[in-house]
A and B are shown apart, each in its own frame.
Chain A
Amino acid sequence: MVPTRRFGVRGRVTVGFGLLALGLSALLSGLAWTLVTRTMVSQTEQTALVETALDRSEVENALSTGAAGLPAVLEGVPGTDSAAVLAQVDGRWYATSPSLGPTSLPTELVSMVNGGQEATQRIRVDGTLHLAVGLPLTGGRGGYFEVYSLSEMQRTARVLSLGLVAAAVVTVLMGLGVGRFASRLALRPLTELNRVAADVAAGRLSARLDADGDPDLEKLAGSFNQTVEDLQRHVIADARFAVDVSHELRTPMTTMLNSMQVIQNRRDQLPESVREPVELLADELERFRALVVDLLEISRHDAGDQVVRETVRVGDLVRRAADAAAGRVVTSIDPAVSGLMMEVDKRRLERVVANLVGNAETHGGGCTGVRVEPGEHGLRIVVDDTGPGIAPGRRARVFERFARGGSSERTGVGLGLAIVERHVALHDGHVHVEESPGGGARFVVELPTSAS
């Protein structure tokens, strides 16, 4: 099975058609070859027999007057295209060709003729094929033999065989061509399926397979489309749910936040005993707000919102966002990229930087530095922290929603990094986490300069 795996379906169909054509043409050529050569041989033998019989009667006529004139008669056998004429009369051999003596004749042939039977046999003389024909002479005086060259027939056979091989080659080539065409035709739905499936995988859930009214494909197209439809419905429903929940939370949120603000404006009027609970409430409310904002951010991303690109000096953007998020200067910019202008969604990129720095501050023991440097395909943003780091096995999972980075006592809900991953992906970049030289976690964002 391994070798066939190397070919695709198209290759296999093409080769299959080629082999089929080869088999068919070999069969037909073989058949034609056998029939034609057989017919040619039997016709040649018939002709030779008739001719030899005619010549024998002349020889017998001459013999009736005595054996003395036999050599001259043999020389003068009229109208023969035979290579040699031989006769054995009363135990004595007469031959016209010095190269083709009695020894050239097979002994079975001679003995059959001497036994009174007609005989033909193909023999090889000087490497070429000949037909030896032997007829008994009347009165049991011996035998009359003629040897015919079969080189003409051989040449014809060779031409025929060449023709047949050529025809076979053409047939095989045509078979390959038809196979290729047929496979392409037959695989067109597969190609289409491939394209649509890739579309769906890339997130364009509205892509559908068109059966073009083909009854064989309608079923496949139907079930494929049904699957995508279900998927799309689920994705939309999920995204909708999150959006709806967050929307519903907005009004109570507005009420709570603003009421809390009024209360806090009057903090000094509050009795000492309720100040602490009010502070706790305010903190929790702020966290709640951040969660709802994050939830909205990620759910509207699922619902497929637009990216607003504009040209900015990325280094400046990162510096401002990072320093603002850390509340101190943490950013250093490689001079090679300090003036780099890129087309980015400003809001999203600010969010990426702010979330990474925020994550380092709250979960990573503090951000030790943000570096902007040349990357593989453009720009690299590196955020280091001093925390315990993230175990290699958990590194891919930190970007999942509501994932926690490392130790169980880490607080905070992990939507921030999920947002980072999605926003970076929207810029055709990618983000990963590794160990920083200081021992903490290092988040690396790679952004291509030529984003699509």
Chain B
Amino acid sequence: MSESNFRTGFTSRCDTGEVTRRVLLVEDDPRVRRVLRLALEDEGYHVSEAATGEQGLADLRAEEPDVVLLDVMLPDTDGFSVCREIRHRSNVPVIMVTARSDSHDVVAGLEAGADDYVTKPLVAKELSARIRALLRRVEPAVDQRPRRPVMGDLSIGLDDGVVLRDGEPVALTRTEFRLLAELAVAEGRILSREDLLDKVWGYGYFGDSRIVDVHIRRLRTKVERDPASPRHVVTARGLGYRLAG
């Protein structure tokens, strides 16, 4: 991971909330592209379009989008490899567009590094809700709690988004950081998958808990010494997850 990757999306542009969000739409069907652009722009986004995976990766550099909307089926390559490629280059939130919510595509997309997924037919209003949830900040502290809780060798900067393990910065995506932050704010209490879906992804109760599990797994590979026997991000069987020192 290069130093340029080490951003958790806490750029000034994202923080203000008034600035127009930029969406990169990678979708091969021109009809879908056209109407989604229309509807998303109506929702207040700036939309750039890419018809192929290759073009999408080129646009990622040129347009610096706040979020990428990535179709699984693309003419030149599949969305999963594009997603993996995006993850090598950037921590930008990726929403995968799949045909079916119960297919292998969902897990494959999440494993490839997608932050969330939506199923077709998609409506800009729902999409907008997903984007807003992904770009949401960690709730600011109400009291004067220390904003850098330390759990064993892990130090979590809730305000600056910098996570240190043994003093070394850990590169997390925005979603991974928010997951870790929510667990840190809970101060060791167990958060159910539904709690986490609600807090991090804004799903309320009816979300797909596979999203949580896949992100927890990926978070562990980054913050745990031995991801197979985690010491920080601990599973409470049948209940959820909690953070331990």
Residues of chain A whose beta carbon lies under 8 Å from any beta carbon of chain B: 247, 250-251, 253-255, 257-259, 261-262, 265, 289, 292, 296, 300, 305-306, 308, 310-311, 320-321, 324, 341, 346-347, 350
B73 CB to closest chain A CB (Å) equals 11
B: residues with CB less than 8 A from A are 29, 31-32, 35-36, 38-39, 42, 99-104, 120-125, 205-206, 208-210, 237-238
Task: Give Cα distance in the complex from A40 to B116, angstroms.
Answer: 102
Q: In the complex, are the beta carbons of B39 and A258 less than 8 A apart? A: yes
User: In the complex, are the beta carbons of B238 and A341 less than 8 A apart?
Assistant: yes
What residues on A are CB-neighbors of B238 within 8 Å?
A: 311, 341
Most buried by B among A247, A257, A258, A306: A258
Is A296 within 8 A of B100, CB to CB? yes
Listed by A's residue number, 21 A-B pairs whose Cβ atoms lie within 8 Å are: A247-B99, A253-B121, A254-B35, A254-B36, A257-B123, A258-B123, A258-B124, A261-B123, A262-B38, A262-B42, A300-B102, A300-B103, A305-B100, A305-B102, A306-B102, A306-B104, A310-B209, A311-B237, A311-B238, A324-B205, A341-B238
Q: How far is the CB of A9 from chain B (nearest CB, A)?
A: 44
User: How far, in angstroms, from A320 to B104 measured CA to CA in the complex?
Assistant: 27
Give the dominant DSSP class at A's interface. helix
- Bound state CA distance, A308 and B106, in angstroms? 12
Please name all residues of chain A whose beta carbon is closer than 8 Å to the beta carbon of B209 when the two chains form the complex. 310, 346
A255/B100 in contact, CB under 8 A: no
The smallest C-beta distance from B171 to any residue of chain A, in angstroms, reads 30
Complex partner residue of A300 from B35, B100, B205, B237, CB under 8 angstroms: B100
Interchain CA distance A350-B207 in the complex, whole Å: 11
Contact of B35 with A320 in the complex, beta carbons under 8 Å: no
CB distance from B238 to the nearest CB of A (A): 4
Count the A-B residue pairs with Cβ separation under 8 angstroms: how many?
67
User: What 7 pairs across the A-B complex have the smallest Cβ distances?
Assistant: A258-B39, A253-B121, A254-B121, A311-B238, A258-B35, A255-B35, A250-B120
Residues of A contacting B124 in the complex (Cβ-Cβ under 8 angstroms): 258, 261
Residues of A contacting B122 with CB < 8 Å? 254
* Cα-based distance from A109 to B120 in the complex (angstroms): 116
B206 CB contacts on chain A under 8 angstroms: 320-321, 324, 350
The answer to whether A320 touches B38, judged by C-beta atoms less than 8 angstroms apart, is: no
Report chain B residues within 8 Å CB of A308. 102, 210
Chain A residues near B104 (CB-CB < 8 A): 306
Which residues on the B side are within 8 Å of A347 (C-beta)?
101-102, 208
A247 nearest CB neighbor, chain B only = B99
- Does A261 lie within 8 Å of B102, measured CB to CB? no
A296: chain B residues at CB < 8 Å are 100
**A289 to B119 CA separation, bound complex (whole angstroms):** 13
Q: In the complex, what residues of B have CB within 8 A of residue A341's CB?
A: 238
Inter-chain contacts of A247 with B (CB < 8 A): 99
CB-CB under 8 A from A259, the residues of chain B are 35, 38-39
Contacting residue for A261 out of B101, B125, B208, B210, CB 8 A? B125
